[in-house]
Amino acid sequence: MKIGDYQIDGDAQDDDGQNLMGISGADDPEDVEVVGQAIWYTIGSDFVISSDGTDGDESGREWLLRRMDELELPEFMAPPEVSAKGAFTRTRDHLVTPRNDEANYDGQTVEFETKRAGRDSFHLLANAYFTAEDLNADDGEWRQVTVGVFRYVSEHSAMATVPKIDRDDRMWDAWEAFSQRATALMDEMEVSHIGRDIQKMMNRFTHDWTHTVKFRDGGAVYFVPAQYNDTLDGLKTLIEEINVRFKTHGRDCELKRIPVVNDDERREMVEDRARQHIEGKVEDALEGAMEAVKANEEELTQEIIASAEETVKDGDSFAAQYNDLLDLRLSVEDVLDEFAEDIEGGVKGEIINELTSEAKTDGGH
């Protein structure tokens, strides 16, 4: 594809300060070939994709799945359904705050506080200041009582609401209103999604589902090969819609991208990062294998070798894609040979020999 086919959202540089797009010297910038895109994104966690009545009875999850389908985003990218326990946890996290509400009773202000009490419960507390006259004492003081408890009951996959005050207590109406609110919120959370779900989706897109490489070690700027352009188009539209419809405060949700052109400077930049990625895969395989050997009383087993081989195979697949994209000669076997030069014998040397033999077999040598 040519650069004229792309929307340009900004500019960016890699760790060495090199411009990632670099078309200023081209005779006809509109005709420059593009090998991929550099992307960076901000999602945030403080929003809920939930029903807002705009689309009738459609839940937040139903809206998300429908839009992903319409934008032709793969179904496997969608966040998983929220379990009852997950909905409880999200309800708790949403409601727990030092200052939830307040009420006035006969001239006395009572401040309500929600507080986490454990993994599976949280409390509604009431704080009130009693004057010295109220207490018939020398000094006044703050007093706190537990109004009620919210507890997740795993055998019923539901939330129990347990009042700790009597029905004739002055705070009963406040308790009823809050418990109804919490119950309704948990029901909503079970068919909704939160910002963290979209964060995880983008993290898996850049780390698991595509062969991307980081342009910046300290910042999230990624190179995404051109074959994923259609998916990026869909993700960008989806994130923009989420921002407009569900984000009410904080930084905007956004996905920025710029095309990376096929010239020597940027090819070398991408190649360096791709090579580092493959080296990282080999290091992960070796470190994982050595830890497994240590845990197995220093004995190297075929299962440990097989696990290391699986890690290395991902590097093979990655190398094949970049070799095809940029006409390179990246190779896991070459990286293993470089590691072997620094290691003589021992268990680690044996692991490298096994991985090298497997790499040669897979590579048809």
Mean pLDDT, consecutive 10-residue segments, the chain of 365 residues? 51 51 50 86 89 81 96 95 96 83 84 90 92 84 92 96 94 94 95 95 91 77 92 96 92 92 86 88 89 88 88 84 85 86 80 83 55
Pick from 189, 217, 240: which residue ends a domain? 189
Single-letter amino acid code for the residue at 54:
T
Q: What pLDDT is attached to residue 23? A: 44
Q: What pLDDT is attached to residue 328? A: 82
SS3 helix, strand, coil % of the chain, rounded to 5? Answer: 50, 20, 30
CB 305 within 8 A of CB 289: yes
**89 shares its domain with 184:** yes
**253 shares its domain with 286:** no
CB 210 within 8 A of CB 322: no
**92 shares its domain with 232:** no
262: closest CA among 22, 35, 37? 35
Phi, psi at 260, each rounded to 5°: -110, 120
Indicate the number of domains in the chain.
3
Q: What pLDDT is attached to residue 25? A: 47
Q: What pLDDT is attached to residue 27? A: 53
Phi, psi at 138, each rounded to 5°: -75, -35
**307 shares its domain with 252:** no
**175 shares its domain with 118:** yes
**207 shares its domain with 65:** yes
- How many other CB atoms sit within 10 Å of the CB of residue 323? 15
**67 shares its domain with 121:** no
**91 shares its domain with 185:** yes
Pick from 202, 231, 261: which residue ends a domain? 261
22: closest CA among 285, 265, 198, 275? 265
Q: What pLDDT is attached to residue 147? A: 94
**98 shares its domain with 59:** no
Q: What pLDDT is attached to residue 277? A: 87
Ramachandran bin of 157, using left for φ above 0, alpha for ψ from -120 to 50, beta for the remaining angles: left
Q: CA–CA separation, 41 vs 293, rounded Å?
A: 39
**213 shares its domain with 241:** yes
Pick from 218, 237, 261: which residue ends a domain? 261
Domain that holds residue 213: 3-82+194-261
Q: How far is CA 314 from CA 117, 284, 343, in A?
A: 43, 11, 23
Q: What is the pTM of this model?
A: 0.78
Q: CA–CA separation, 261 vs 28, rounded Å?
A: 13
Q: CA–CA separation, 229 vs 7, rounded Å?
A: 11
Q: CA–CA separation, 300 vs 350, rounded Å?
A: 9
In three-state secondary structure terms, 310 is helix
Cβ-defined contacts of 208-217 (< 8 Å, 24+): 209/76, 209/77, 211/317, 211/318, 211/321, 211/322, 213/270, 213/273, 213/274, 213/276, 213/277, 214/273, 215/12, 215/14, 215/15, 215/20, 215/38, 215/269, 215/273, 216/14, 216/15, 217/15
Q: What pLDDT is attached to residue 90? A: 94
| H-only helix segments in the chain | 60-70, 84-95, 132-135, 172-189, 195-204, 229-246, 264-295, 302-326, 332-341, 346-362
Q: CA–CA separation, 313 vs 214, rounded Å?
A: 20
Q: How far is CA 95 from CA 91, 117, 163, 252, 316, in A?
A: 6, 13, 17, 23, 47
**349 shares its domain with 291:** yes
Q: What pLDDT is attached to residue 273? A: 87
**91 shares its domain with 184:** yes
31: closest CA among 57, 1, 54, 74? 1
DSSP label of 331: -
Q: What pLDDT is attached to residue 14? A: 53
Cα–chain center distance at 321: 25
CB 362 within 8 A of CB 313: yes
352: closest CA among 280, 290, 299? 290
Q: What pLDDT is attached to residue 219? A: 62
